[in-house]
Amino acid sequence: MSLSLAIITAVAAPAAGGGGWQDSMLQFAPIVLIAFAGYFLMIRPQQQRQRDHVARVKAIKRGDTVVMSNGMIGKVVRVEDEEIGVEIAQNVTVKVLKHMVHEIRTRGEPAPAARDAK
């Protein structure tokens, strides 16, 4: 309680001698707090998402289903260093740069066959 009162008093009635560096620090404190909040709320999560995406793109393997940045969905048939071959239709394969892959949907387990109900 006394700390908040001291801060309010220092901001509302600066010292007669010009205040010194303490007043300067109090003026810059909100800017510093906003910078820290911006880093932890916007920049750091985006960097983590980008690192995760790069790791997933490096782990692309044959048989994965991918969504490219233009929205096309296809199945990976060939993987090279910087490019992948994606089958977008039967017997239609295109070369795509790995960094243009937006989402990786790995091939799931096959569904069990439906049994005939009598």
Name the pLDDT band for 10 (thresholds 50, 70, 90): low
pLDDT tens string 18-31: 567 788 888 888 89
Contacts of 15 (CB under 8 A, 6+ apart): 23
Is 60 exceeded by the pLDDT of residue 82?
yes
- pLDDT for 4 equals 58
- What would the two tokens of residue 69 be? 């940045």
* Average pLDDT rounded to a whole number, residues 40-60: 92
Q: What residue has token string 């790791």?
A: 55
Q: How far is CA 64 from the centre of its chain?
A: 22
What is the rounded CA–CA span in Å between residue 49 and residue 103? Answer: 12
**pTM (global) more than 0.75:** no
Fold of 59-105: SH3 type barrels. (2.30.30)
Is 60 exceeded by the pLDDT of residue 47?
yes
